[in-house]
Amino acid sequence: MKQLLLDKIAKKEIVVGVIGLGYVGLPLAVEKAKAGFKTIGFDEQPHKVKMVNEGHNYIGDVVDKDLKRLVEEGMLSATSDFSFIRDVDFIAICVPTPLDIHQEPDLSCVRNSTRDIAKYLTKNTMVVLESTTYPGTTEELVKPILEEGSGLKCGEDFYLGFSPERVDPGNLIYKTKNTPKVIGGVGKDATEVIAAMYRAVLEGDVKEVSSPAIAEMEKILENTYRNINIGLINELAILCNEMGISIWEVIDAASTKPYGFQPFYPGPGLGGHCIPLDPYYLSWKAREYGFHTSMIESSMMINDKMPAYCVERAGKILNRFRKSLNGSRVLVLGVAYKQDIDDYRESPALRVIEELEKTGADVIYYDPWVRQYRFKGQERVSEPELTAELIESADLVMITAAHTNVDYKLVQRHAKAVFDTKNVMKNIENRENIEVL
């Protein structure tokens, strides 16, 4: 099986299947197809399948014309019909791994898609889980489902591995193609063959590790590292405000150290599908070993209270104008979870808006990237344009995402007061009406 697959990789005869055509899956499918591997994307959402087959892109990190060309050339197609799994030699599973309402791992998408794969899995196929998850998932959950559902044996009839996705939406330098990749297979041969398949597609380094659990854990480490460091900085931001010290200037100064320090920045809380969720996958798994991940819990406690803290600060700013949040109009700028992207999953801005409204504030928002969003069953629409009149109509402007295509000078000139939780207005000279987190 090993030599057969290595030969097929070298000759570009591998047919690729990507399960889940979202922020991670679609860019991966496009890269595989661009590298000369015929690729079939699988998604349970018919509108995504239809869009791909019509050559329409819906993910920011994918170049529209690349997608269109690959579809026209017959190198990329999409389907909701898993029976096409029979035709593929390499499968990457890129489905969501959210938390349930009790903040525990919800692996239903991984489980369901793996069951669907197992029904049609054929011999000599490579299966790689890319979804972020707790250490052990590939061997404890995916492997038995594949073996039982297909009657095939892992390592003998098919290869299985884990390779964490590292997509950073909106990153202009690091894309799927040039970001290094880690591969941990079930057995050495699996690792070698799966790594060869990624090397045939990517420019970034491909690092082989000794097991899927190492690869699963390293991904959680990456995201937990960010989560905890952001938690530390958020806590220091609260302290620095009490002490009358600018946390931003402190971080700038510390960043002059050429070794041993990496800057992280405070903000209204954590957002996105990864950093706020993934560490809980580890906390959950750790409890199986009677272990409490206290650093994760502490950092989550701080990060989770940032939206409420920011609203408290907003209230204090209005107080200075003898106003209360109750009855004041607040213009929130930016609801995406980070700058210059349209993804608002887990965005702290949504919680800021919720908290503001709980206090009775009249909230409007403007986001050039997120024209509307749905949160807790409610739909909201962005103000169409950021005009001087709109800014003047608000008692307070609260900046919750550092989008670069916003006219912050206009904001400064016309706002009664600004609360900048991202320090995005740092280069604006006149700062009389600006308060920074």
In this chain, which of 274, 306, 363, 415 binds ligand NAD, going by CB under 6 A? 274
Residue number with CB closer to ligand NAD (23 or 37): 23
Q: How far is the CB of 274 from ligand NAD (least distance, A)?
A: 5
In the numeric block, the tokens 């740092």 are attached to: 426
Question: Binding string to ligand NAD for residues 173 to 212, with x set by CB under 6 A, is what?
Answer: ----------------------------------------
Contact code string over 233-272 relative to ligand NAD, x by CB under 6 A: ----------------------------------------
CB neighbourhood size of 201 (10 A): 23
* Shortest Cβ 219–ligand NAD spacing (Å): 8
* Cα–chain center distance at 177: 17
Residue 25 or 266: the one with the smaller Cβ distance to ligand NAD is 25
CA distances from 404 to 216, 266, 282, 431, 437 (A): 34, 18, 34, 19, 18
Contact with ligand NAD (CB under 6 A): which of 103, 112, 255, 378? 112
C-beta of 44 vs 304, nearer to ligand NAD: 44
Number of residues that bind ligand NAD (CB under 6 A): 27
94, 109, 240, 274: the active-site residue: 274
Query: Residue 45 or residue 262: which is nearer to ligand NAD going by CB?
Result: 45
Residue 176 has, within 13 A of its CA and on its CB side, a CA count of: 24
The question of whether 274 is a catalytic residue gets the answer yes
Nearest partner of 95 among 183, 19, 17, 176, judged by Cα: 19
DSSP string, 333-393: E--SSSTT----TT-HHHHHHHHHHHTT-EEEEE-SS-SEEEETTEEEE--S---HHHHHT
Q: Greatest CA separation found in the chain? A: 76
Closer by beta carbon to ligand NAD, 96 or else 231: 96
Residues of span 11-40 touching ligand NAD by CB under 6 A: 19-25
CA-nearest of 298, 419, 411, 403 to 356 is 419
According to the binding rule CB under 6 A, does residue 163 interact with ligand NAD?
Answer: no
Footprint on residues 91-110 left by ligand NAD (CB under 6 A): 94-97, 109
| CA–CA gap between residue 237 and residue 422 (Å, rounded) | 12
- What secondary structure letter does DSSP report for 34? H
Q: How far apart are CA 50 and CA 63, in angstroms?
A: 18
CB 339, min distance to ligand NAD, A = 14
**Sign of torsion over alpha carbons 280, 262, 338, 178:** negative
One of 15, 44, 84, 141 touching ligand NAD (CB under 6 A): 44
- Footprint of ligand NAD (CB under 6 A): 19-25, 42-45, 48, 94-97, 109, 112-113, 131-132, 165-167, 169, 273-274
Active site residues: 274
